[in-house]
Structure 1
């Protein structure tokens, strides 16, 4: 079970290669946080994660899949990650 994030934070869950890249399964980040800023914030913390993991990953907020807009992308209404939300980073998984 994932611990509840501290007040004023959301939880980011890292699966598969995202967890390997960050050496974490879960991390609390300040919220509210615009979804369009999430990948940039993670890139600042974990240099190279965007190209290596995030650009190929699926994202859910509270178990609902969402499209992550690119920086400066317009058109869609801005999704904001709220306090207490659970965001999952789900990279592609292959089997052999």
Structure 2
């Protein structure tokens, strides 16, 4: 399955497993740029309850690279400043997968 390219000024967010079930979507385009620290708040505004139900235990990738979500709104300790999701980026929400 190929993912459609996001419209100009947007990035794609991919929802896997329970994230896709919660949103009833596999992919969605959101306006860019967006600070990574604001991603979960933005999704919570769209999908009430998703942060506690899905996001708090999920991994996040930007362009297939795992990223650590900032604890607060301030810059990270590395001094590199905040991570900004850019136009055309692909963000994935990857909930934990249970095995059985």
Q: TM-score, normalised by structure 2?
A: 0.92
Report how far residue 95 of structure 1 moved.
1.5
CA deviation string 1:43-94 (max 9, x = no partner): 0000000010001000000000000113434434200000000000000001
Q: Which moved more, 1:71-80 or 1:38-47?
A: 71-80
Gaps spanning 5+ residues in structure 1: where? Answer: none
- Secondary structure of the residue that 1:13 maps to in structure 2? strand
Alpha-carbon RMSD across the aligned residues, in angstroms, is 1.0
Rounded to whole Å, the distance in 2 between the matches of 1:40 and 1:73 is 15
Q: Which moved more, 1:18-27 or 1:74-83?
A: 74-83
Contact 2:35 2:84 in 1 (8 A): yes
1:91 and 2:95 are equivalent in the alignment:
yes
Q: TM-score, normalised by structure 1?
A: 0.95
Gaps spanning 5+ residues in structure 2: where? Answer: none
